[in-house]
Amino acid sequence: MSATKAFTFAISVLCLYSVFGQLPKARFEYKYSFKGPHLVQRDNSIPFWEYSGDALAGEDGVRVTPSLRSKKGAVWSKNPLQAPNWQIEVAVRVTGRGRIGADGMAIWFTEQKGTEGNVFGSNDQWKGLGVFLDSFDNDNQHNNPYIMAIVNDGSMSFDHNSDGSSQQIGGCLRDFRNKPFPVRVRIEYYKQALTVMVNNGLSNKPDDFELCLRAVNVVLPNTAFLGVSAATGGLADDHDVIYFLTHTLHEPGAETAKVSEAERQKFEEEFNQYYKDLERAKEDYQKENPDKAFDPYNIPDDKLYESESNREMRQIFDGQMGIQNTVREVSRKLDELLGRQELVLAKVSSLPSSGQVPQVQQQAGGQQQQPVYSDTIKRHEVDRVLNNQNDLLQQIRDLRTVVNDVQARAMTIQQSGGGVQQGGGGANVNNQMAMHEIKDRLNSVSNDVSVLVNRPQPAMNAAGCPPPPSGSCLTPVVFFVAVGLQLVIMIGYMVYRQNKEATAKKFY
């Protein structure tokens, strides 16, 4: 992007006017925002922000705490935001191997910059707003992970024992851990009404938000620092902030949204200076690292690898979803089959037991052209039905073995992958999350198959079971579904294995 284009874009963002009737006008505040890629500068600092404690900034986000016990970290804006109306959107990832995580994250809008403390990594008795993503269920009410807002005038201490339930001005039960996409929290404060919307992390559509809480007559400071903090305890999660975007909101027609000529020039100079610094830093880097600058296996490959990995992971997810659906379909067909057999069994048992079964003249529709059974059931037919059922059962058992095998390998790779990438910054967050997702999916598939295998067999007493109308318990559909299933699993596994081999090559 050329300097002119970039400048035009920045100014157009700054001067953004809403065209909608009564909606407030939003102005992007770049000094109170951060977003990857290339989040950090050469000295690992984030422009206009500072981080402390166990927080680490990477190219694509800030890891506020790593998934290690008893860690605390925070990232704060260097300057206070001075605005009566505003909107903050924060994208976070909270990921951990355990089914339960701890302790959680907090998004702050407070008069003072926070210091390290007991409230999700930051100090208690804050003045202003805290929006908490509380992972751990301290009061054992089975109502966590929970998102809530608490306004404090500096006198109140957060009550961890009750998870702040009596102190909140509103909240919602949302599982924000281990989601395929970052979970986004949008906090809007406009005319003293506080609204918190949450994206559930299952989609990355920009406007996919659900209302979490809304409260009116909320009094917050006019000038406040913005921050995110997090803490782990006996249990631990990775707490990552992917981006933090701040807009000030202005009433339609209010002059505050306009940028005066003097301000525009100031912004222009500031931007040009910033752009020059960036270009100079790039040139310096290329001079200092001539081989790296043109090495396609250096940074660009890393980026390429990351996106490809994500894509393949998604393919695997799709494959797993396909398997799950197919297993459900098999289950449904088995139910249907069972139902039909019971129906026929009931009809047969209602017939006279004279040894000669009378002709079944009419089906439900009373149509004469339906096939007519005019003989007793032969032993070999019953045997064939039983054999077919046994074959089907064996195929399902094989399927379960394959699924368990894939699961075991995925867990092994996950463990070794975790070891290799320990401390690798924000880059492995996606992988870890993806591995958890695979694990869950595989568990789900495995459970489905277990249900199938353990299903009680229909009462197929050799003497009493007639062949079903199709002549065989194993219909072609069921057979091809079972074969297709194994094929899908093998392809999914090969794609996944190829991906991991690529990863292994990369590390060695």
Contacting positions for Ca ion (CB under 5 A):
134, 136-139, 141, 143-144, 163
Q: Which residue is nearest to Ca ion (CB)?
A: 163
Rg over CA atoms, the chain: 31
Work out how close the CB of 141 gets to Ca ion at its nearest, in angstroms, rounded to a whole number.
4
Work out how close the CB of 137 gets to Ca ion at its nearest, in angstroms, rounded to a whole number.
4
What is the enclosing helix (H) or strand (E) of 442?
A: helix 429-453
Work out how close the CB of 152 gets to Ca ion at its nearest, in angstroms, rounded to a whole number.
17
Give residues with Cβ within 8 angstroms of 123, minimum separation 6.
114, 115, 116, 117
Nearer to Ca ion, 139 or 175 (CB): 139
Work out how close the CB of 140 gets to Ca ion at its nearest, in angstroms, rounded to a whole number.
7
Nearer to Ca ion, 109 or 120 (CB): 120
Nearer to Ca ion, 163 or 312 (CB): 163
Work out how close the CB of 232 gets to Ca ion at its nearest, in angstroms, rounded to a whole number.
12
- The tokens describing 396, both together, are 């399902």
Nearer to Ca ion, 64 or 449 (CB): 64
Work out how close the CB of 151 gets to Ca ion at its nearest, in angstroms, rounded to a whole number.
18
Work out how close the CB of 139 gets to Ca ion at its nearest, in angstroms, rounded to a whole number.
5
Q: Which amino acid is at 369?
A: Q
Nearer to Ca ion, 108 or 181 (CB): 108
Task: Write the DSSP symbol of residue 186.
Answer: E
- Would you say 55 and 45 are in contact if contact means Cβ atoms under 8 Å apart? no
Of 419, 414, 410, 399, nearest in space to 478 by CA:
399
What stretches of 16-160 adopt beta strand conformation (E)?
25-28, 34-35, 49-53, 56-57, 62-65, 72-77, 81-82, 86-95, 104-110, 116-119, 122, 127-134, 146-153
Nearer to Ca ion, 171 or 426 (CB): 171
- Would you say 218 and 189 are in contact if contact means Cβ atoms under 8 Å apart? yes
Could you give the CA distance from residue 286 to residue 293 in angstroms, rounded to a whole number? 5
Nearer to Ca ion, 95 or 389 (CB): 95
Work out how close the CB of 244 gets to Ca ion at its nearest, in angstroms, rounded to a whole number.
23
Nearer to Ca ion, 119 or 197 (CB): 119
Work out how close the CB of 423 gets to Ca ion at its nearest, in angstroms, rounded to a whole number.
27
CA 36 to chain centre: 19
| CA dihedral angle for residue 405, residue 406, residue 408, residue 411, rounded to 10 degrees | 180
Nearer to Ca ion, 39 or 106 (CB): 106
- Would you say 208 and 186 are in contact if contact means Cβ atoms under 8 Å apart? no
In which residue are the tokens 């894509």 written?
Answer: 311
Could you give the CA distance from residue 34 to residue 16 in angstroms, rounded to a whole number? 19
- Would you say 281 and 41 are in contact if contact means Cβ atoms under 8 Å apart? yes
